[in-house]
Amino acid sequence: MSEECCGPDEPRKARTIQRVELTRSHRTGDACCEPDPVRNATSSEAHEEGDACCGPALPSKAGVDDDEIEVRPPWWRDIALLPSALSGLFLVAGYAFEWAGIEIPALVLQWAALLTGAYTFVPGAIRRLIRGRLGVGLLMTIAAIGAVLLGHVGEAATLAFLFSLAEALEDRAMDRAKEGLRALLSLIPETVRVSRLAGDTTIPAADVRELDILIVGAGERVATDGVVVEGRSSLDTSAITGESIPVDVHPGTAVAAGSVNGASTLRIEATADGRDNSLTQIVSLVEQAHARKGDRARLADRIARPLVPVVLIAAALVAVFGFIVGDPSTWIERALVVLVAASPCALAIAVPVTVISAIGSASKFGVVIKSGEAFEQLGTIQAVALDKTGTLTRNEPAVVDVRPAAGISRDELLTWAGAVEETSSHPLAAAITTAAPGAAGAVDVVEDAGHGITGRVNGTLVRVGNVRWLAPGVLHSAADEMAEDGMTVVVVEAEGEIAGLIGIRDELRPESAATVRLLQDAGIGITMLTGDNERTARAIAAQAGITDVRAEQLPADKATVIEQLAAARPTAMVGDGINDAPALATATVGIAMGLKGSAAAIESADVAFTGNDLRLIPGALAHARRGRRIMTANIVLALAIILVLFPLALFGVLGLAGVVLVHEIAEVFVILNGVRAARRPAALRSPAATSVPAQV
């Protein structure tokens, strides 16, 4: 077991993934990430240490041969359990012979059980001791040796068997917790068809390069990120983003690695290499979570680390007391029992197995948590600040209202505006041209930056601009009404006369209001931050059900607001743009919406959502709160076991065998309890319960 922490690794960039051989993690090795060849000696010598501190190295599937990937076998075929299984068989047989009165075979079998079980932890404990490190394995080693010297070979064998079994079960629990992350890599196909000048050819997915044209047939997975260049279909992205409804795609649509194509063949231009795409980003980010630990993990370490030498001193004092009172045999035996009773086995794994289980599970439903610390802090959140543009809204401005002047038809108004805006690069121009797809291009177009644009449409001089450039005139009250509804008002003028108004708005995501209700029902305070003007901001906030609105916020202003909110109670910031990066970094927990958001936002955040469904927020908070409760229960149970067993061992109420049995049963319970954190919360098992269609 790992008892010491070597500190967090340097965080890697989101688009960096290390190619390593996938082997089992062995938490019995050195706590500072050195491999232990004793545990599971048949595994590759090149394995990475998987203790709770340094975390496991995770593979990039692209480029890793099948024989390099080790899949966790069923327990009855797991060779790592073999030493413990043999130790148990020898022990049972030994006791059977002892009860039958056949002493020599019984003693031989008990010695076999002792040596087989001790093989899994004694060598590692000795190596750590040579390097000046104390650990739980050392306590068990001393206890076993002492029991043998006192003639209790059977009890020493029982201790070795139960401790080795608990270690092996812990290894499997940790491996199982990490399999959810490894499963993400299986979403990348082994091979992919690529269009070449000489014709279509099949190549390994790892060999895909940016700008390659991929041919993805019906039912096939997309090998890397790209943009559709030919074909129309629907993609199942549920395994990547957690969004349950297939996404319609067409030429120009960006697609993510691991998505499953629907009924039609697509040609996709790769925008990332096969070894370096959004899916490997997810793996890389979650990999970082295994390398850092949160507050409660550090609390467990602070308790467990000094407890080992304290236990050794206490056991030594008990033995010395035996010599003082003239009964060294009895008190030395009790000292050994005390040694086992006070060992922090369960405490050492109380938090790590929970954190890794929960983080690995979260990655499967689209929540990438970068560290154990972030996971634990996520469970404390009492307030959430939401950016407006791109988070609460679609970040896709659209025409939502058209008010033509008297004598002008709606289509005529849109045609004039669309023709003039056709060549404009202004963000609102795209909304207008989309609303008027058949408009012919204008001539003599002149753009006045910050005001509007002028051009001739079939001989008519048309100007399109904001209300500061073109006064709405007789439509002034209509312009005010549209602005009150959160629209950006565009005025259209034809031959010097006001032709009408066009209202453009970045619409709320369909799940925004439901998400706000879910958070409020959970007792979470909601604040909306935006750089928009006060009137527009409050109109959008009212639709979402948010009352605390901070408008006209620059990036530095957002960070200041978050700092103030976080000073009062733990606060999460949710955003997706570069302007959100300072606030994300300032918050108790920064949450970036979608791995396709700005790189600055993702780097600054502690948590990243691979999809854009806001209902992931209450689901992720519920998941983290549940994990935090499990951590607390594990720590309390581990400490309670020590506090209860210590006096019972000191006063001889329980012998060595009884203490070992209770201790190891408690450790197994802690492991199983920690694995429960991998269960998906109800809010994420049934997103449709909000009665809002998933955002696609």
- Cα–Cα distance between 466 and 471 in angstroms, integer? 8
Residues 370, 372, 374, 378: is their CA dihedral positive or negative? positive
Radius of gyration of the chain (CA): 32
The reported pLDDT for the residue numbered 28 is 34
Residues 673, 49, 84, 310: is their CA dihedral positive or negative? negative
Our measurement of the distance from residue 31's CA atom to the centroid of its chain's CA atoms, rounded to an integer in Å, reads 24
DSSP letters of 495-508? TTEEEEEEEEE-PB
Q: Which residues contact 36 (CB under 8 A, 6 or more apart)?
A: 26, 28, 29, 30, 49, 123, 124, 127
Look-up of token digits 């290894």: 171
Whether 521 is catalytic is: no
CB neighbours of residue 592 within 10 Å = 30
Whether the Cβ atoms of residue 145 and residue 125 lie closer than 8 Å to each other: no
φ/ψ of residue 34, rounded to 5: -100, 140
The reported pLDDT for the residue numbered 564 is 93
Closest to 294 measured CA to CA, from 352, 344, 346: 352
- Cα–Cα distance between 344 and 134 in angstroms, integer? 12
Cα 440–Cα 445–Cα 451 angle in degrees, nearest 5: 115
The reported pLDDT for the residue numbered 515 is 92
Whether the Cβ atoms of residue 530 and residue 577 lie closer than 8 Å to each other: no
Closest to 367 measured CA to CA, from 146, 638, 558, 184: 184
Residue 211 burial (C-beta neighbours within 10 Å; 0-12, 13-18, 19+):
exposed
Measured CA distances, 571 to 101, 132, 385, 504 (Å): 68, 42, 7, 32
Residue 350 burial (C-beta neighbours within 10 Å; 0-12, 13-18, 19+):
buried
In single-letter form, the type of residue at position 634 comes to N
Q: Which residues contact 695 (CB under 8 A, 6 or more apart)?
A: 243, 509, 510, 511, 611, 612, 613, 614
Measured CA distances, 84 to 109, 119, 442 (Å): 14, 9, 82
Cα 278–Cα 281–Cα 284 angle in degrees, nearest 5: 160
- Cα–Cα distance between 580 and 577 in angstroms, integer? 5
Question: Which one from 171, 276, 387, 506 is the annotated catalytic residue?
Answer: 387
Residues 244, 246, 248, 250: is their CA dihedral positive or negative? positive
- Cα–Cα distance between 393 and 679 in angstroms, integer? 30
- Cα–Cα distance between 116 and 95 in angstroms, integer? 16
Cα 22–Cα 289–Cα 358 angle in degrees, nearest 5: 90
Going by DSSP bridges, is the β-strand pair 260-261/199-204 parallel, antiparallel, or unpaired?
Answer: unpaired
The reported pLDDT for the residue numbered 485 is 83
For the chain, counts of helices (H) and of strands (E): 23, 22
Grouping H, G, I as helix, E, B as strand and the rest as coil, residue 600 is: helix
Going by DSSP bridges, is the β-strand pair 226-230/254-255 parallel, antiparallel, or unpaired?
Answer: antiparallel
Whether the Cβ atoms of residue 346 and residue 637 lie closer than 8 Å to each other: yes
The reported pLDDT for the residue numbered 116 is 93
- Cα–Cα distance between 61 and 42 in angstroms, integer? 22
DSSP label at residue 473: G
Going by DSSP bridges, is the β-strand pair 213-216/191-196 parallel, antiparallel, or unpaired?
Answer: antiparallel
The reported pLDDT for the residue numbered 20 is 28
Mean pLDDT by 10 residues, the chain (696 residues): 36 30 31 34 32 35 38 67 88 89 91 91 85 73 73 77 72 57 68 90 91 92 92 77 65 88 89 82 56 54 70 85 85 81 70 78 81 84 89 84 91 91 78 83 78 87 88 90 86 92 88 92 92 82 92 82 93 80 84 64 74 86 91 87 86 79 78 83 50 35
Our measurement of the distance from residue 71's CA atom to the centroid of its chain's CA atoms, rounded to an integer in Å, reads 22
